[in-house]
Amino acid sequence: MSKEKIFVTKPSMPPLEDFVESLKKIWETGVLTNDGPFHQEFEKQLAEYLGVKYISVFSNGTLALMTALQALNIKGEVITTPYTFVATPNSLIWNNIDPVFCDIDPVYGNMDVDKIEALITPRTTAIMPVHVYGNPCEAEKIESIAKKHNLKIIYDAAHAFAVKKKGNSILNFGDLSVLSFHATKTFNTFEGGAIVSHDSATKTRIDNLKNFGITGEVTVVEPGINAKMNELQSAFGLLQLKEIDANIAKRKLATLLYRKLLKDIEGIRLLEDMADIEHNYSYFPIFINEKFDLTRDGLYEKLKLSNIFTRRYFYPLVSTFSPYNSFASSHKNNLSNAYKLSEEVLCLPISSELSNEQIVFITQAIKK
Ligand SMILES: *Cc1c(COP(=O)(O)O)cnc(C)c1O
């Protein structure tokens, strides 16, 4: 048993002294929120770092998802995936939109683009895919379906911070992309999130919506919400940006070591890197099938006994939760790939803080 508990992730943090310097500035100015200097600088540096035109930072990713739907006036039905975190469909329900669950590809777990069109009805207004584990969806095909049927595309890009395809940020795909900076994600601001947009009018609309719809001292243009990122989060995010490349490089080394130690084990499937992708190595999922000595849940429980806390991410499928039963039932037979993957997946610990010794220890515990 490992003396120390190894959790599925451990947040990256900047040096405390640096954050204390930021705190001193906040104490000097007395500006705590409302598009303050750290907020403005963070949006600027973030857009540059990510290679996107416009970004609006939020207090968390879920409010960013909800606001993205408002910003594009999405209504009726939205085609999304059951293989995701529950925030994805919850953001639809909070906007009175019906989620329509589309099955996934059996390898990477992204929405199966060949199954989208059959789900389109006269009420469909948008597609909300997820770049699962940071592996990009088939954006060109999704785009051509959306064009043909006059639908919007909002990507839940919560896993996709800094991921590029042939040098271009995948956050530039679709109409909007939504990020999460939750403590468990590759890039964190304690909690936080963002919407990437592609024109200044849309960014302005989003910025109004996240601040009550207020555009001037005596003007409210629409019923917005309060979803602003505050100065503490923004100052922290600016420091995180200095470390992110080094942290992703550490995650990559961890991934390569895991792959080396776990290759060719009967009953364990690993994910290969997709071609032409600069990855962020945000997760290390393995897929346990019947050829392995233990069931997936058996391995999960056994690793716990060694103080290794993995996660079955995503299990159960969101479409099996009670609020979603009725939406899923009409399509249930078509979600077989999603069911299968959710029964097989186990995400092993990965972070910039994970040591080689810990990885060796984890892989030995799996092989035992
Ligand atoms: C983390 C996550 C979210 C929610 O983000 P929060 O910042 O925690 O609100 C949404 N979708 C997916 C796929 C996520 O993993």
Distance from Cα 362 to the centre of ligand 1, integer Å: 26
Residue 49 lies in a domain: yes
Q: Which of 221, 239, 257 is the last residue of a domain?
A: 239
Residue nearest (by alpha carbon) to ligand 1 atom 13: 85
Residue nearest (by alpha carbon) to ligand 1 atom 2: 158
Query: Do 99 and 215 share a structural domain?
Result: yes
Q: Give just the sign of the alpha carbon dihedral 244, 250, 252, 255.
A: negative
Query: Do 248 and 230 share a structural domain?
Result: no
Residue 80: strand pairing partners: 101, 128
The residue whose two tokens read 């001037």 is 216
| Ligand 1 binding site (Cβ under 6 Å of any ligand atom) | 60-62, 84-85, 87-88, 130, 156, 158-159, 180, 182, 191, 193
Q: Give just the sign of the alpha carbon dihedral 70, 144, 170, 172.
A: negative
Residue 349 lies in a domain: yes
Query: Do 265 and 197 share a structural domain?
Result: no
CATH of the domain at 197: 3.40.640.10
The pLDDT of residue 265: 95
Residue 8 lies in a domain: no
- Atom of ligand 1 minimally distant from the CA of 182: 7
Residue 1 lies in a domain: no
Segments in the chain forming alpha helices (H)? 16-29, 37-50, 61-71, 87-93, 139-149, 200-209, 231-262, 296-305, 325-329, 336-344, 356-367
The mean pLDDT values, 10 residues at a time, for the chain of 368 residues are 86 97 98 97 98 98 98 98 98 97 97 96 97 98 98 98 97 98 98 98 98 95 97 98 98 98 96 94 97 97 97 95 81 82 98 96 95
Question: Mapping DSSP to helix (H, G, I), strand (E, B) and coil, where does residue 281 land?
Answer: coil
Distance from Cα 3 to the centre of ligand 1, integer Å: 31
pTM for the model: 0.97
Residue 287: strand pairing partners: 269, 345
Query: Do 311 and 215 share a structural domain?
Result: no
Which amino acid belongs to residue 349? P
C-beta of residue 118 within 8 angstroms of C-beta of residue 163: no
The pLDDT of residue 1: 61
The parent domain of residue 271 ranges over 244-367
Distance from Cα 189 to the centre of ligand 1, integer Å: 13
Distance from Cα 180 to the centre of ligand 1, integer Å: 5
Residue 2 lies in a domain: no
Query: Do 195 and 129 share a structural domain?
Result: yes
Query: Do 219 and 312 share a structural domain?
Result: no
Selection from 119, 138, 141, 186 nearest residue 352 by Cα: 186
Query: Do 297 and 212 share a structural domain?
Result: no
Residue 99 lies in a domain: yes
Q: Which of 173, 207, 239 is the last residue of a domain?
A: 239
Query: Do 273 and 147 share a structural domain?
Result: no
Mutational test site, ligand 1, from 111, 177, 180, 315, max ligand atoms within 8 Å of CB: 180
Q: Which of 239, 255, 279 is the last residue of a domain?
A: 239
Query: Do 104 and 23 share a structural domain?
Result: yes
The pLDDT of residue 326: 83
- Atom of ligand 1 minimally distant from the CA of 193: 7
Q: β-strands 152-156, 124-128: how paired?
A: parallel
Residue 231 lies in a domain: yes
The pLDDT of residue 269: 97
Residue 10 lies in a domain: no
